Structure 1
Amino acid sequence: MTPGERQRLSRLIDRSIAGLLVRKRAALKAGGKTVRVLISGDDLTTLPMTLQSLRALDNAGYALRVAFSHSASQSGLKAALLPDIDPLYLADDFAPLTAEVVDSLYLPALSTNSLSKIALGIRDNLATVQVFHALSTKTPVIVTLNPELMHLGDSGFALPLQVRLEQYIDTLRQYGIAVTGSGESVCQKRLITLNDIRLHRVTDVLRIGRNTLITPAAQDEIRRQNITVIR
């Protein structure tokens, strides 16, 4: 097969996959799945990660109900995100989880402070109160760790604190909370497409399952971005 034929085949495969994903999103939207997204913390450097998470959920066909914690509002994180959020997705920041029917609760770029409080069972802010309410009603809870927590070795924290934070992350999993890190939603997929790689911006390492398939176009993009793939 010539290089030109490989490129045409690669484009054809990705167009076919894109069409399947569009149909899948339409079917998911018809199902009416709603995710309450609670944005907390005051770290503006998490803005790109949070936006990527919101776009991924929207592209996947979920209806979003986005709320902001007090710290997110006061820090300017809310003001920075609002221009990129559909007004129809905005929810009452302090409305209890029971005020709306949602299928899951999602906290993108979970702050180190909120992680610690949830692990210790402290319920003194919007994030912790809503997490424990969701757990009590068996509403699925998903959190994405912030970059500091995903790369504790580079965080500058003393080693004992790094160990304690690792224990806190394990505690959340023991609660039944789904804890994800950079690109984990990608690594759980059985098929990696070009679009998946283009959205993979946080690190230069991509961890995938042993039997995960990668399309030719995605492989080209992995080489272009110099991403290391670990199975």
Structure 2
Amino acid sequence: MDTQQLSHLVDTVIDEMLAQRKRRLQSHNKVMRVVLSGEDLSTLPSTLECLIALERCGYLLVIAFSHSARRSLLQSHCLQALAEQGVEVICDNQPPSSAQSNYHDIFFPALSTNSLSKIALGIRDNLVCRWAFHALSVRKTAIITLNPECRPDRHSALPPALKARLMNYASTLTEYGFTVIGLPESTPGLRSRRSLITLSDVRQHPQGQPLKIDSRTLITPAAQDEIRDRHLVIVQPLQEDLCIWQR
């Protein structure tokens, strides 16, 4: 096989892979866009738990990694761990376009401090920010979980004033229309009912008080176990259906 034939074969394989990916996206009615940012590997276990739960719930995962995530080990570790769990994903690091609105919701796990600040300030100079504002423009549900250094319930080396500023930024995102997980219930602009409940959320929930959810609430498997262990009561409007993440 000469060089020209090899080049033609490679092009053919690439075209077929792209065509297969397009057919999967068009045929799947539950597509979750996921955008991973930062380079902190300590956030990966909780992120993987959420992604595996989404896949078990029937979502096709289309994942984009920020520039910092691609430069660090976050992208390779994430894709390897998902493959080991038998979770098939589509990796798409292209910026959003008008044609890329065929997804159900979008998820920004452990949003980096850098991207949190830029989104709050309306800056769109990286992949994460572009996907965030694209989701708003096409009226998709955008769910964000805060990274540990930004969460008020976690120890952080950040100066109190800086942490307070980041909390204000997170609150600003809720005003834009994002669902931000990890903010105190008293934070201005926070929606009264969560769209995503994690193990940390359940552990912080007061014993004896009902856990209020709505029809779009997703509960991670570890959070489900904690709910059962603590015998918490889940309350939702009777007219709505409960949606729980299951393995």
What is the DSSP-based 3-state SS (H/G/I as helix, E as strand, rest coil) of the residue aligned with 1:123? Answer: coil
SS at match of 1:99: coil
Q: 1:33 maps to which residue? A: 30
Corresponding letter in the other structure for 1:85: L
Q: Deviations over 1:67-112 (max 9, x none)?
A: 2111111011001111122574123211425335101111111111
- d(CA) in 2 for partners of 1:73 and 1:105? 19
2:227 and 2:74 map into 1 onto residues whose CA distance is 35
Matched residue, 2:77: 80
Sequence identity (%): 41
Equivalent residue for 2:205, pick from 199, 204, 207: 207
After superposition, the CA RMSD in angstroms is 3.4
Query: Matched residue of 2:91: which SS?
Result: coil
Q: Which runs of 5+ in 2 are unaligned?
A: 1-26, 186-192, 213-224, 234-247
Report the counterpart of residue 221 of structure 2 in structure 1. none
Residue pairs, 1:27-66, within 5 angstroms: 32-66=29-63
Map of 1:170 onto structure 2: 171
Q: Indicate how the Cα distance of structure 1 residues 178 and 70 shifts in structure 2: closer, same or farther if over 3 A, else same.
A: same
Question: Structure 1 residues 222, 70: CA separation in 2 closer, same or farther (over 3 Å shift)?
Answer: same
**1:90 is paired with a residue of what secondary structure?**
strand
Q: Calculate the TM-score normalised by the size of structure 1.
A: 0.67
Confirm or deny: 8 A CA contact 2:124 2:130 kept in the other structure.
yes
For 1:119, the equivalent position in structure 2 comes to 120
Question: Do the aligned partners of 1:152 and 1:162 also contact (CA within 8 Å) in 2?
Answer: no
Q: Distance in 1 between matches of 2:122 and 2:153?
A: 22
- The total of aligned residue pairs comes to 182
Q: Secondary structure at the match of 1:154?
A: coil
- 1:23 match: none
Q: What's 1:101 paired with?
A: 102
Mapped to 1, the partners of 2:145 and 2:95 lie a distance apart of 22
- Relative to structure 1, the CA distance from residue 156 to residue 137 in structure 2 (aligned partners, 3 Å threshold; closer, same or farther) is same
Match of 2:159 in 1: 158
Change (3 A) 1:139 1:220: closer
1 CA distance for matches of 2:157 and 2:122?
Answer: 26
CA drift of 1:141 comes to 0.9
Q: Counterpart of 1:126 in structure 2: which amino acid?
A: L
- 1:116 shift after superposition: 0.5
Q: CA deviation at 1:205?
A: 2.5
Gaps of 5+ in 1: 1-29, 190-195
Q: Where does residue 133 of structure 1 map in the other structure?
A: 134
Flag the structure with higher helix content. Answer: 1
Give the CA deviation at 1:156: 2.0
